[in-house]
Amino acid sequence: METLVFASNNAHKLEEIRAILGEKFKIKSLKDIGCDADIPETGSTFQENALQKAQYVKAHYGLDCFADDSGLEVEALNWEPGIYSARYAQMNGLEVTSENKDDLNMDVLIDKLLALHPDKGEIAGAKVLSSARFHTAIALLYHGEIHYFDGIIPGFIINEKRGNEGFGYDPIFIPEGQQLTFSQLGADIKNGMSHRARAVSQLAQFLKL
Ligand code: IMP
């Protein structure tokens, strides 16, 4: 069986990938190949960051590899925070811990959007602050070539946090056509429609050819 490294140590992402590609490929994590480096992500797009991670693995371990990079893009903020999604509160001068990071990132985003006095109506009684989308890019280094796969899920940012599941910006994101946030929809429904699921499905289609 061919080995393919997924340049991540995120247990949830690995499980998802192995469920889809595991029959055809031996999927190894960074830990599996003995890589504990903090791989630099200094690109200016999701694609560049994903490619940087995949190229690091290829250069140091000589293995075919893919990597992902994701984030939230908010229309009213010129598509910020984008590649800065994980550290948005920090970038805006707040001190964060791993416990309060998600909450503070959402607070900063809501405050910035409220300052623009949005008038975009309501969904399920919540004020809509902006259109937005989650975006995942996957970069694959395979048999000497680079391939990119993108997944996007469009939706809306609302003014209050709803739901207890998920992570990141899930409590304030309502996907287009829904009445509930990603957080309220829960893992099964979210994972069936998410940006990551859409990018991974493109990758799977390509690899199964
Ligand atoms: P990563 O590249 O998948 O680690 O995502 C980077 C950051 O984007 C995360 O730390 C979150 O702030 C945000 N993000 C990415 N995907 C999601 C999601 O599915 N829900 C909520 N936030 C997300």
Question: What tens digit of pLDDT does each residue of 85-137 get?
Answer: 999 999 999 999 999 999 999 999 999 999 999 999 999 999 999 999 999 99
* Cα dihedral: 199, 202, 204, 209 (round 10): -160
The pLDDT assigned to 12 comes to: 84
Give the Cα separation of 100 and 105 in Å (integer): 9
Question: Is residue 46 lining ligand 1, measured as CB closer than 6 Å?
Answer: no
Ligand 1 probe mutation, 17, 74, 85, 194, most atoms within 8 A of CB: 85
Query: Is residue 209 over pLDDT 80?
Result: no
- Going by CA atoms, what residue is nearest to atom 10 of ligand 1? 86
Query: Is residue 20 over pLDDT 90?
Result: no
Is 208 within 8 Å of 24 (Cβ atoms)?
Answer: yes
**What's the pTM value of the predicted model, to 2 decimals?**
0.94
Is 151 within 8 Å of 200 (Cβ atoms)?
Answer: yes
Q: Which atom of ligand 1 is nearest to the CA of 195?
A: 19
SS3 70: strand
Average pLDDT over residues 138-156: 98
- High-pLDDT (> 70) share of the chain, %: 100
Give the Cα separation of 31 and 89 in Å (integer): 29
Ligand 1 probe mutation, 39, 169, 170, 188, most atoms within 8 A of CB: 169
Q: Which of 69, 102, 103, 188 is catalytic?
A: 69
